[in-house]
Amino acid sequence: MSSGTDQDTPPSASTAEGGDLSSNPITIPLPIPLPIPLTWPPDGRLDLDWIRNLMSVFDWSSKNVPPSDFPSVLPVQIFDALVLAASKILHKEPNCLRIDPDADESSAAEVVVVGDVHGQLHDLLFLLEDAGFPSENRFFVFNGDYVDRGAWGLETFLILLAWKVVMPHRVYLLRGNHESKYCTSVYGFEKEVLMKYGDKGKHAYRKCLGCFEGLPLASIIAGRVYTAHGGLFRSIFMTPLKRSKGKKNRRISFDSEPKRLTLGSLEELSKARRSILDPPWEGTNLIPGDVLWSDPSMNPGLSPNKERGIGLLWGPDCTEDFLKKFNLKLIIRSHEGPDAREKRPGFGGMDEGYTIDHVVESGKLITLFSAPDYPQFQATEERYKNKGAYIVLKPPNFDCPIFQSFEAIAPRPQVHAYYDYEDCIDSDEELDLTSMVTTSEEAS
Ligand SMILES: [Mn+2]
């Protein structure tokens, strides 16, 4: 940290050490002098104290340090070490995680499920404090969309990676559609990283993309709850490809797709190739794009998601089929905030951070959104003022969702956006698929 700036001094008090885990990360006093730049532990082992310090420092630096001074907070070597440690773990995980907490009714085990976060660092810190930090008895499943739109996607993502490294069997990070090259190049995360790491920015961004490719796609909790960012997916056996011959002139024409779309199985999900910068919307590897981009519909059946240009729409009958076939009770997906829901007649708004979309014989489909007062940057004066929510699942069955809604932390630090939110389309809809084609030189 360059001295001599007129930044706020952190709250004074003893030290950050020794407090109990339930203490508020936002008010954990920072030692003086400030523990920055952050360092890697000499023995290479991250622990809870390291994460608590990381969260406190990021909370403080987000309010006091210009983005271009970020390396004085987290030097690129420490960034590299953290991303590498997390990447190694993530890439080894299966596409669909099996999470099996102690189902004994007397056990204190619980699973916290979290929806879209979108770089809203302070709201994530609040959520972690409110739900209680990950622990032996408290699992976390994050449903993706950690970055973009909000101004602290990098801090948000790194905090989650740190939790993953320290508690790999308690904290699970799934991939969202924004954990991709295409989305991060349009909605701010790429520019954010370039701004925060300067001449090392491209390097840092590439490392993040490599990590995104490792993120698993879905989870099954206690054998009863399926979670994924977008939701359900097609069977690839039933969709032989009709593709125009000229590869250079790819046109997106759903009409040329086979008439019969059918739901995919968990076995097919397990075999999908997820390690791709942008899930393809055509070809044979369509399951990752479906899982990350699909939306529920009130109309029965499976159909191409024409609004988004990738993924599917699935009806209540598909929710029922999927739950029944795999003996599940609940689907928890995310992916739709208040802006998306504004354009979806028939569906509930995101005012409370969640909606119950389908109620069928075998169970329910829920949309969960954890970014309150979203989006951070908005061209209009009028805001959605939505709450965020997380879900707690408890033994013995982990299939009765307890909803916890929460307000945004206010005031949010005033910072500049990393994307042109006035001109940018204000949801993921109508995305320009042609710009998603990754050229070979870019795909490093
Ligand atoms: Mn999304």
Q: How many CB atoms lie within 10 A of CB 314?
A: 31
Q: In this structure, what DSSP letter does residue 251 have?
A: -
Query: Is domain 77-244+254-444 given the CATH code 3.40.50.620 in the classification?
Result: no
Please give the pLDDT value at position 105: 85
392 Cα: distance to centroid of ligand 1 (angstroms): 21
Residue 3 pLDDT: 38
- Mention every residue, 6+ apart, whose C-beta is less than 8 A from residue 132: 21, 22, 112, 138
Give the pLDDT confidence score for residue 29 in this predicted structure.
67
Q: Are 148 and 118 in contact (CB under 8 A)?
A: yes
What is the Cα–Cα distance from 330 to 337, expressed in whole angstroms? Answer: 20
pLDDT of the residue at 106: 87
Question: Annotated catalytic residue: which of 118, 122, 178, 335?
Answer: 178
The structure tokens listed for 251 are 């046109």
- Strand, coil or helix: what is 393? strand
- Spatial distance between the Cα atoms of 117 and 95, rounded to a whole number of angstroms: 21
- Residue pair 176/335 in contact (Cβ under 8 Å)? The answer is yes
CB atoms within 5 A of ion ligand 1 belong to 145, 176-177, 335
What is residue 8's predicted lDDT score, i.e. its pLDDT? 42
pLDDT of residue 103: 87
* CA 293 to centroid of ligand 1, rounded, Å: 7
Residues 121, 150: Cα–Cα separation, whole Å:
8
Side-chain-side CA neighbours of 14 within 13 Å: the count stands at 4
What separation in Å is there between the alpha carbon of 284 and the centre of ligand 1?
Answer: 22
Predicted pLDDT at 432:
55
CA of residue 179 to ligand 1 center, whole Å: 9
Which long-range CB contacts under 8 A does 377-384 form with residues at least 24 apart? 377/149, 377/151, 377/417, 377/419, 377/421, 378/421, 378/426, 379/421, 379/422, 379/426, 384/337, 384/338, 384/339, 384/342, 384/350, 384/351
Ligand 1 centroid to residue 412 C-alpha, Å: 22
- In 163-272 the beta strands, taken as DSSP E runs, fall at 171-173, 218-221, 225-228
**Helix ranges restricted to H, 26-113:** 48-64, 76-92
- The predicted pLDDT at position 35 comes to 82
pLDDT along the chain (444 residues), means of 10: 39 36 51 82 95 96 96 98 98 98 91 98 98 98 98 98 98 98 98 98 98 98 98 79 50 53 97 97 96 98 96 98 98 97 94 98 98 95 95 97 98 94 64 50 36
**The model's pTM:** 0.87
Q: Exposed/middle/buried for 89, CB within 10 Å: 0-12, 13-18, 19+? A: middle
DSSP lists the bridge partners of residue 405 as 389
Q: What is the largest CA-CA distance in the chain?
A: 69
Could you tell me the two tokens for 58? 């990021």
Token pair for 249: 């002139």
The CA 221 to ligand 1 mean position distance, Å, reads 21
The pLDDT value recorded for residue 260 is 85
* Rounded distance from Cα 178 to ligand 1 centre (Å): 6
Neighbours of 348 (CB within 10 A): 13
> What are the sequence ranges of the domains in the chain?
77-244+254-444
- 178 catalytic per annotation: yes
**Nearest C-alpha neighbor of 62 from the set 337, 411, 387:** 411
